[in-house]
Amino acid sequence: MLRPRILLTSAATLALLFAHQLSAEKARKPIPPLTAQEYPMHDEHELEHVAIAAEPGDSRETNPDTRLDYLGHEMMPIRVIVTNDGEFDLTLDDARIHLIASDNSNIPAATDDELQRRLFSLGGANKKIPLPMPLPPITVHANVDKKILADEDDFGFKTTTVKAHTTVAGYLFYDMQGVPKPFLEHATLELRKVRFSASNKALDSFEIPLHPTAAAPTNKH
């Protein structure tokens, strides 16, 4: 007669632990961004009153508190910060945000599937799909690990609209395999097809010179 009670108690305990874990996961939030002009790596278009900054996550201070160790799997986290000081809303729906490495390799931001293969698939560690990727990823596949999706929810772009006099930010990840090291040395983050929402007119490209930071990254799972 005691066994069903034990099983029910164990199930309840597991449910509470699972709920507690979910609650703890939801607490992972990025540091609120500054305006793009306040970051050392940025490009500003003064005529349109728009600035875009990049903050590589290769240091203890800037590496995001994600659930998974992307940097340890050679996926460089880079926070992209967009500040719109103008009077007209911007859209990032068509934006292409590529990293141009020192050897002129053109590296698009990694998709969820690419992150999945790198972090969890032994046979997919060297695979890369160099295709343009809209921001944010449109398709989410069922085989993507829940921690990747949770990190995307917490650390990715919350919106692709940058309203007048606002700043939005989100992390993207770039494949470092096969690229000369240090990865960020003489690299550039290039943003194309940032548009005004109402007119759909594209701004000129943004080119942000990158460089490594001094501090060592933190270790994660």
Domain ranges of the chain: 1-30, 33-209
Burial of 193 (0-12, 13-18, 19+ CB in 10 A): middle
How far, CA to CA in Å, does 87 sit from each of 69, 77, 80, 124, 125?
39, 31, 21, 46, 45
pLDDT at position 4: 46
pLDDT at position 81: 98
Q: CA-CA distance, 161 to 119, in Å (whole number)? A: 30
Q: CA-CA distance, 167 to 138, in Å (whole number)? A: 22
Per-residue pLDDT at 138 exceeds 70: no
The answer to whether residues 179 and 20 touch, using CB atoms and an 8 Å cutoff, is no
Q: Where are the beta strands (DSSP E) in 37-115?
A: 42-45, 50-56, 75-84, 90-91, 96-100, 106-108
Residue 162, both tokens? 């940058």
pLDDT at position 132: 43
pLDDT of 87-126, one tens digit each?
999 999 999 999 999 999 999 999 999 999 999 975 443 3
pLDDT at position 29: 87
Per-residue pLDDT at 133 exceeds 60: no
- pTM for this model (two decimals): 0.79
Per-residue pLDDT at 195 exceeds 80: yes
At 28, the pLDDT band (50, 70, 90 cuts) reads: confident
pLDDT at position 127: 40
pLDDT at position 125: 39
pLDDT at position 143: 76
Q: Which residues lie across from 107 on neighbouring strands?
A: 99
**Residue 210: CB partners within 8 Å, gap ≥ 6?**
41, 54, 56, 78, 99, 184, 187, 188, 189
- The share of the chain scoring above pLDDT 70, in percent, equals 75
Mean pLDDT value across the chain: 84
Amino acid 185 reads E
CATH fold of 33-209 reads Immunoglobulin-like (2.60.40)
Q: Which of 17-21, 143-147, 189-193 has the lowest mean pLDDT?
A: 17-21
